[in-house]
Amino acid sequence: MDLFIGYGRLPQALLTLMPPSAQVAIYNRTQERIRTAQENDQRIVSIESDQFAAYEHVWLFLPVQALKTFLSTYAEEFPGNATFYLPVTKATQSDVIPYLKEGQRVVACKFVTQADQLKEDGEGLAVVTPVHKKDREHVQALLGKNMTVIEGAEEDVLEVNRLATKRTIEMVTMLQKELKEQSIDDQIIDYASRQIVLGVTKAYHQGKLGTFGQRVLQEVKERDET
């Protein structure tokens, strides 16, 4: 059984994708949250820190600083052959290695997603930087068929998530600004930036753009070719 350290939005989203048979232990600073979650999901097992020695596969869903604090306190409590999976986008393997004891190792497993969207879509992409071939296989077996798992560099995922977040926020704020300058009602602007933007993006990826969308796409392609 794998162990999740932390119970934020990403591990919660992953649980919705994982197979019904995929039982997982969870340790969280506020254990009451886990006990509440257990009432709705029998796959969840709540554990305490004195049980860490029983887990060889550990997922670190913690911010960078909290991650370092946790490992400096508890790394010694885990087995000497423990594998730590690192899904936090901003944390790298080099952040973790200094805190591990001999024999322990870290495998970067980054998700090309936003947690809420992952949960809504019911599918996602994980990029694993494996130490051994079995690392990718283990991740795939745990997360199940709804998650595509490939090998790649954690730096690539950091750049993709950074640039995608930056460009999306720039696009939405620019759209809102342009519409406000035309004195359009705030409620209309709100729905446009939420539903039209998401709807057009999804239609583009699915090849289902309407007539106007197809015309705009053709104009963009012609502009980029000049």
Same domain, residue pair 103 and 181: no
Structural tokens at position 40: 């709705």
The parent domain of residue 83 ranges over 2-152
Residues 60 and 13 in one domain: yes
Q: Do 13 and 70 have their domain in common?
A: yes
Domain count for the chain: 2
* Overall pTM > 0.75: yes
138-165 burial, b for 16+ CB within 10 Å, e for fewer? bbbebbeeebebeebebeebbeebeeee
CATH number of the domain bearing residue 144: 3.40.50.720
pLDDT tens digits, one per residue of 107-119: 999 999 889 999 9
Q: What is the per-residue pLDDT for 186?
A: 95
User: Given CA atoms 54, 55, 61, 66 in this order, what sign does their dihedral have?
Assistant: positive
109 and 87 Cβ atoms separated by less than 8 Å:
yes
Q: 172 with 212, same domain?
A: yes
| pLDDT (average), residues 133-155 | 94
Question: In the prediction, which pLDDT does 188 show?
Answer: 96
Last residue within a domain, chosen from 152, 175, 206: 152
Question: What span, in angstroms and rounded, lies between the C-alpha atoms of 59 and 82?
Answer: 11
SS (H, E, C) 155-176: HHHHHHHHHHHHHHHHHHHHHH
DSSP summary character for residue 85: E
- The answer to whether residues 85 and 139 belong to one domain is yes
On the question of pLDDT at 130 being above 80, the answer is no
Q: Calculate Rg over the CA atoms of the chain.
A: 21
Do the Cβ atoms of 19 and 126 come closer than 8 Å?
A: no
CB 110 within 8 A of CB 87: yes
Task: Give the span between the Cα atoms of 82 and 79, in whole angstroms.
Answer: 5
User: Do 30 and 72 belong together in one domain?
Assistant: yes
- Asked whether residue 86 falls in the same domain as residue 173, the answer is no
**pLDDT grade for 137, boundaries at 50, 70 and 90:** very high
Examine the domain organization and report whether 114 and 36 are in the same domain: yes
Cα 58 from Cα 78, distance rounded (Å): 9
Query: Whole-number mean pLDDT of the chain?
Result: 93
Domain end (from 94, 118, 152): 152
Residue 32 has pLDDT above 90, yes or no: no
pLDDT at 73: 96
Instruction: Tell me: do 108 and 177 sit in the same domain.
Output: no
Shared-domain flag, residues 208 and 137: no
33-91 residue pLDDT tens:
898 888 889 999 999 999 999 999 999 999 999 999 999 999 999 999 999 999 998 89
Domain boundary among 127, 152, 177: 152
Q: Write the CA distances from 171 to 25, 120, 148, 163, 183, integer angstroms.
A: 40, 22, 28, 12, 19
State whether 89 and 187 are in the same domain: no
Share of the chain above pLDDT 90, in %: 82
pLDDT at 140: 96
Look up residue 214 and give its two tokens: 């197809």
**What is the helix, strand, coil percentage profile of the chain, to 5?**
55, 15, 25
Of 20-29, 50-59, 217-226, the poorest mean pLDDT is in: 217-226
Q: How many of the other CB atoms lie within 10 Å of CB of 171? A: 13
Q: Do residues 127 and 196 both lie within one domain?
A: no
